[in-house]
Amino acid sequence: MDIVVKKIILEVKKGNQEAFSELMDIYKDKVYHIVYRMLGNVHEAQDVSQEAFLRAFMNIDSYDTNRKFSTWLFRIATNLAIDRLRKKKPNFHLEDQVAGTEDLTYYSQFSSDEELPEDQVVQWEMQEWVQEEIMQLPPKYRSAIILKYLEDLSLKEIGEILNLPVATVKTRIHRGREALRKRLRHS
Amino acid sequence: MACSKENIVLIHKYLDNEMTLLEIKQFQQHINKCSDCEKHLQELRKTEAITQSASHVKAPSNFTENVMGKLPKQPASQKWKHRLRKHPFMITAATFFLVFIISLSSAFGGDGNDIVVKGDGHFIVDEQRGVVVIPEGEHISGDLIVRNGDIEIAGEVTGSITVINGEHLMASADQVSGEIEEINQVMDWLWYETKAFLSEVVAFMSTENEENEENN
């Protein structure tokens, strides 16, 4: 494992909170990205990824420094995301009103200080569309697909994160890939 | 759709780079003949490309602060512990300073309570009263240092008088041509010692320089 990361973790284990913020700066984007792709919603993504870091801090003593930290952390994050999906009420949409506001939709939650050029709009729509397609996958395929194609992790690592044998990971990726293919082939 | 279920499995195996060279060769031969399988493979490749094109979203800017704010509060003593561990020179400096203070304040009292006088000339040490007396008509040229006692000046002193842990008593001010200094507080004492030490160092270094110059 990265020596710098290991050093920081040893500091955190000694009870140094400030070191934990360094650890967060290294991993926050990855954790947030995985969780966002799992949940498809910025608010829940922020909520769940914060929760993931809090749990990681609370349970840092149970982390074995001989193993890869990112695997351990991603496991906490994906478990929390899957829990959230189980409890989740029916999907809501970006066009929905934010609770307790007059005419604020979830679109306005995206920061956009300037007018987006057309190609950026197209790109953004493309991103939205990819996310929507990922959201259509059953969660167990979704997590495997995200870890493989968006995080570029090996099957072995994915297996460790999801606590599954490699053969099962492979099957889930194959099935997820087939499901996506059926939806995307006509685009 | 691929021609058979077995071939779908093969396509995935091919995509996962898990085929031997022989298997790849056989698979490619089949693809060349079977348009269904070829189409299926193309669609899966496109699917992979689209999925991978999803950009990486970044955590919100205040993410770290938010989480740090939610962590259980640490007791202040622990924060200090970490700060000290991070800056070991603080301990070194503090320890050094402590040792410095202790050694000097123990030296403040001097060795026992005997009166010590440094200087040339005729004076009387009255140990019972704890007073150094410079009798009338006596003349002391040079500086005088009295430790652990008062000084009574009736005669004349051409030089400075320093009284450590004591007081000076005299008939009139113009009997002493130099300065009179009384040191009764530890802080004064420290200042005096430091000054004396530094002037010694300076003197030592300047004599050394002179010696060097002479040697040259």
Query: Which member of A20, A32, A134 has the closest CB to residue B58?
Result: A32
Contacts of B46 in chain A (CB under 8 A): 181, 184-185
Give the ranges where chain B is alpha helix by DSSP (H): 5-15, 21-33, 35-52, 63-70, 76-86, 88-108, 186-215
So where are chain A's domains? 1-91, 118-187
Q: Give the amino acid at A86.
A: R
pLDDT of residue B127: 76
Per-position DSSP letters for B95-130, written without gaps between them = HHHHHHHHHHHHHHT-STT--EEESSS--EEETTTT
With an 8 Å Cβ cutoff, are A180 and B47 in contact?
yes
Is the pLDDT score of A148 beyond 90? yes
Contacts of B64 in chain A (CB under 8 A): 21, 24-25, 28
Higher local confidence (pLDDT), A117 or B133 = B133
Nearest CA-CA distance, residue B167 and chain A, Å: 55
Q: CB burial class (10 A; 0-12, 13-18, 19+) of residue A37?
A: buried
pLDDT of residue B6: 84
Contacts of B59 in chain A (CB under 8 A): 28-29, 31-32, 46, 49
Query: Are A165 and A147 a contacting pair, CB within 8 Å?
Result: no
Query: Are B160 and B142 a contacting pair, CB within 8 Å?
Result: no
Q: A173: closest CA among A136, A150, A151, A146?
A: A146
Q: Give the amino acid at B31.
A: I
Measure the CA–CA gap between B145 and B192, rounded to whole angstroms: 12
Higher local confidence (pLDDT), B7 or A127 = B7
What is chain A's Cα-based Rg? 18
Contacts of B58 in chain A (CB under 8 A): 29, 32-33
Quick: pLDDT tens for B152-169: 887 777 878 888 777 777
Share of chain A above pLDDT 90, in %: 54
With an 8 Å Cβ cutoff, are A21 and B8 in contact?
no
Measure the CA–CA gap between A52 and A72, rounded to whole angstroms: 11
Contacts of A20 in chain B (CB under 8 A): 68, 71
Strands B116-118 and B144-147: antiparallel
Q: What are the tokens at B195? A: 């000054």
Buried b (16+ CB within 10 A) or exposed e, A5-34: beebbebbeeebbebbbbbbeebbebbbbb
With an 8 Å Cβ cutoff, are A149 and B67 in contact?
no
With an 8 Å Cβ cutoff, are A28 and B63 in contact?
yes
pLDDT of residue A3: 86
Q: What are the tokens at B143? A: 């500086």
Query: Which member of A14, A28, A180 has the closest CB to residue B64?
Result: A28
pLDDT of residue B21: 92
Quick: pLDDT tens for A44-67: 999 999 999 999 999 999 999 888
With an 8 Å Cβ cutoff, are A46 and B59 in contact?
yes
So where are chain B's domains? 5-50, 125-205
The answer to whether A1-91 and A118-187 have equal CATH topology is no
Sign of CA dihedral A122, A125, A126, A127: positive
B95 DSSP β-pair partners? none
Query: Are A30 and A5 a contacting pair, CB within 8 Å?
Result: no
Which residue in chain B has the smallest CA separation from A154? B16
Q: A15: closest CA among B72, B205, B5, B162?
A: B72
With an 8 Å Cβ cutoff, are A33 and B63 in contact?
no
Query: Are B169 and B151 a contacting pair, CB within 8 Å?
Result: yes
Measure the CA–CA gap between A84 and A77, rounded to whole angstroms: 11
Q: What are the tokens at A98? A: 């934010």
In chain A, count of helices (H) and strands (E)? 8, 0
Higher local confidence (pLDDT), B182 or A116 = B182
pLDDT of residue B126: 79
Query: Are A49 and A5 a contacting pair, CB within 8 Å?
Result: no
With an 8 Å Cβ cutoff, are B15 and A33 in contact?
no
List the single range of A153-162, B65-74, B206-215 with lowest mean pLDDT.
B206-215
Measure the CA–CA gap between A33 and A37, rounded to whole angstroms: 6
Is the pLDDT score of B87 beyond 80? no
Q: A127, A184, A186, A187: which to substitute to probe chain B, counting the most B Cβ within 10 Å?
A: A184
With an 8 Å Cβ cutoff, are B67 and A187 in contact?
no
State which CATH number among 1.10.10.10, 3.40.190.10, 2.60.40.420, 3.40.250.10 fits the domain covering A118-187.
1.10.10.10
Is the pLDDT score of A110 beyond 70? no
Could you report the predicted ipTM of this complex, rounded to two decimals? 0.75
Which residue in chain A has the smallest CA separation from B44? A181
State which CATH number among 3.40.309.10, 3.40.50.300, 1.10.1740.10, 1.20.1440.230 fits the domain covering A1-91.
1.10.1740.10
Could you tell me the end-to-end alpha-carbon distance of chain A, in angstroms, rounded to an integer? 41
